[in-house]
Structure 1
């Protein structure tokens, strides 16, 4: 019976997170309330408070629910032993990120919430730095890979690893914002793989 109760509690937590994502996406984070989320999840407000202290904690749980598997997936590619050239690993990892973004509506919704449906004010004013940590982590990872490429003589001569890492960071961030702001029906997503390929080719030793 205890095991069943734990399973039910975990399912309720998942239902609340899923409901929060839908409500955040539809209403925006500021206009979303725990009451709205509870109603969307089919639970009481007390049940929401049982699992989450406040809206900010629920917001982080929603983000982590998507980010953790996404980061695990792209890191597995980035640090895979199958790539002799670190530049191939960067290209494959970034390409996979955008493939998942295009194929998985839940992932896209979470990024849309974070980028265009959340005002970092009031209780969210102090967590903006925390929100940006995955991007900073991404920068550090690709800088390490560019350093490896330079050590192996695979990076184009004259390029500085940290500079090209920042450029790839900015390229990826810019592409993400473009894709999320484009109207439905835009064919930009179709060109993403070739754009990434071109971006990386400029870094390869001739």
Structure 2
């Protein structure tokens, strides 16, 4: 009985995260209420508070539900020892990120929510720094990989690892925004791999 109750609670939490994603995407975060999310999940508002103390905590749970497996997939390339050239690891990791974004509608929805459907004001003003933390973590990781490339002399002479990492971070962020805003039928998604390859080619020795 205890095990069944635990499984039911976990299932309810999962439904709430899925409902929150749907409501946030349709209504925008600021206009989404816990009542709307509870209704979409088919539970009471009390059930929402049983799992999450407020809307911000539910927002982070929704983000983590997508980010954790995404980071695991991209890090499998970025931190892999299968590449003799560290720049190949960065290129493969970024391509994997955009491949997942293109193939998984849930991932795309979460990024759309974070970038264009969330106003970081009122109760969300204090969480903006935390929302940007994954980007800072990504920057720190690729700086380390660029430093490895510099040490192995596969990074173009004269390039500073930190400045180069910031450039790649800005490129990746800009490409993400372009993709989320592009019209259906655009050829941009199909050109992403070659754009990433071109970006990395300018950094190779």
Same-fold status (TM-score > 0.5): yes
User: In the alignment, which residue of structure 2 is the partner of 1:32?
Assistant: 32
Q: Find the residue that maps to 1:82 and give its secondary structure.
A: coil
Q: Distance in 1 between matches of 2:164 and 2:52?
A: 40
User: In the alignment, which residue of structure 2 is the partner of 1:158?
Assistant: 158
Q: Find the residue that maps to 2:10 and give its secondary structure.
A: helix
User: In the alignment, which residue of structure 2 is the partner of 1:168?
Assistant: 168
Q: CA shift at 1:191, angstroms? A: 0.2
User: In the alignment, which residue of structure 2 is the partner of 1:46?
Assistant: 46
Taking the TM superposition and a 5 Å limit, the aligned residue runs for 1:1-206 are 1-205=1-205
Q: Distance in 2 between matches of 1:185 and 1:14?
A: 33
- Structure 2: which 5+ residue stretches go unaligned? none
User: Could you list the per-position Cα deviations for residues 155-191 of structure 1 after superposition, in whole angstroms to 9, with x for gaps in the alignment?
Assistant: 1111111111000000000000000011122110000
Q: CA shift at 1:91, angstroms? A: 0.1
Q: CA shift at 1:81, angstroms? A: 1.1
Q: Distance in 2 between matches of 1:37 and 1:187?
A: 35
> After TM superposition, which residue ranges in structure 1, 4 or more long, deviate above 6 angstroms?
none
Q: How many residues align?
A: 205
Q: Distance in 2 between matches of 1:196 and 1:162?
A: 19
Q: CA shift at 1:100, angstroms? A: 0.1
Q: CA shift at 1:76, angstroms? A: 1.2
Q: Distance in 1 between matches of 2:120 and 2:186?
A: 29
- Structure 1: which 5+ residue stretches go unaligned? none
Q: Distance in 1 between matches of 2:187 and 2:44?
A: 43
Q: Distance in 1 between matches of 2:89 and 2:124?
A: 35
Q: Find the residue that maps to 2:119 and give its secondary structure.
A: coil
Q: Distance in 1 between matches of 2:64 and 2:52?
A: 14
Q: Distance in 1 between matches of 2:99 and 2:76?
A: 15
Q: Distance in 1 between matches of 2:200 and 2:124?
A: 36
